Amino acid sequence: MKKTVAFLLAIVLLLVPQAVFAHSKLVKANPAPDTTITEEVKEMRLEFNTKIEQGSTVAVKDETNKEIPVQVQVAGNELVATTSDVLPNGAIQVHWTIIGADGHTVEGEYQFTVNRPAVATPSEEQQLIEKTVPAPQVDPNETKQIEEKATILPWILGALLLALIIFLIILLKGKKRNK
Ligand SMILES: [Cu+2]
C-alpha cells in the first residue's frame, strides 16, 4: 500500500509541473501553416504562447529539402526568420526549435506553399523587347554572299559556254570521223 501511494505520488509530482508550467507552443505563424502565398515572402514570424529564450531557432527548407539560410531573431514570444532571397515557389518547410519559458526545448514543424505567378524580371523584359524589335541592320555576311554570287555568276556562265563550245567541237569532230 505504501509503495502504491508513493508510486502514485511520484506520478502526480511528475505530471503536475508539466500541467502547471505548460510547454511553450506555437500559437500563430505568418505565413500561416497550410496556406498558399502568392506574394514575395522573405520573412516568417512565429508566435508562441510564452516568452521564448535566446537560442531558439528555426530551419527552413525548400521543396527539394534544401536548407534555405535564414537570419533568426528572438523577441519576446516571437521568433522571426528572415531570408536574403525571396522564397522559391513550392512547399516551404519550417522546423522550429525553441527554448520555452520553462527552459524546456520544444520543437515542431509546419509548412506553407509559395505559388507566385511567373513575372518577367527587368532583364528578361529587356530581352523580350530586344527580340521583338526587328533588326535595323542587314546582316553584313548576307550582302557579302550576294556580292560574291554576283561576281561568280559571269564566270560560271562563261565556263558553261566554253564547255558547250568544246562539247560541240568534239561532237562535230566525231560526226566527221563517222562519215
Ligand atoms: Cu516545458
DSSP letters of the chain? -HHHHHHHHHHHHHHHHHHHSPPP-EEEEESPTT-EE-S---EEEEEESS---BTBEEEEE-TTSPEEPEEEEEETTEEEEEESSPPPSEEEEEEEEEE-TTS-EEEEEEEEEE-PPP---HHHHHHHHHHHSPPSSPPHHHHHHHHHHHHHHHHHHHHHHHHHHHHHHHHHHHHHHH-
**Is there a domain that residue 147 lies in?**
no
Domain boundaries, position 95? 23-122
- According to the model, what pLDDT value does residue 145 have? 47
38 Cα to the center of ligand 1, angstroms: 36
7 Cα to the center of ligand 1, angstroms: 22
User: Which pTM value belongs to this model?
Assistant: 0.57
**Is there a domain that residue 46 lies in?**
yes
**Is there a domain that residue 65 lies in?**
yes
**Is there a domain that residue 32 lies in?**
yes
**Is there a domain that residue 166 lies in?**
no
pLDDT averaged over consecutive 10-residue blocks of the chain (179 residues)? 65 56 89 97 97 96 97 97 97 97 94 88 60 57 51 74 83 68
CATH of the domain at 90: 2.60.40.1220
- According to the model, what pLDDT value does residue 44 have? 98
- According to the model, what pLDDT value does residue 173 have? 81
100 Cα to the center of ligand 1, angstroms: 7
26 Cα to the center of ligand 1, angstroms: 13
**Is there a domain that residue 141 lies in?**
no
**Is there a domain that residue 42 lies in?**
yes
124 Cα to the center of ligand 1, angstroms: 52
**Is there a domain that residue 27 lies in?**
yes
15 Cα to the center of ligand 1, angstroms: 11
Residues near ion ligand 1 (CB < 5 Å) are 23, 102, 104
- According to the model, what pLDDT value does residue 146 have? 47
The domain total for the chain is 1
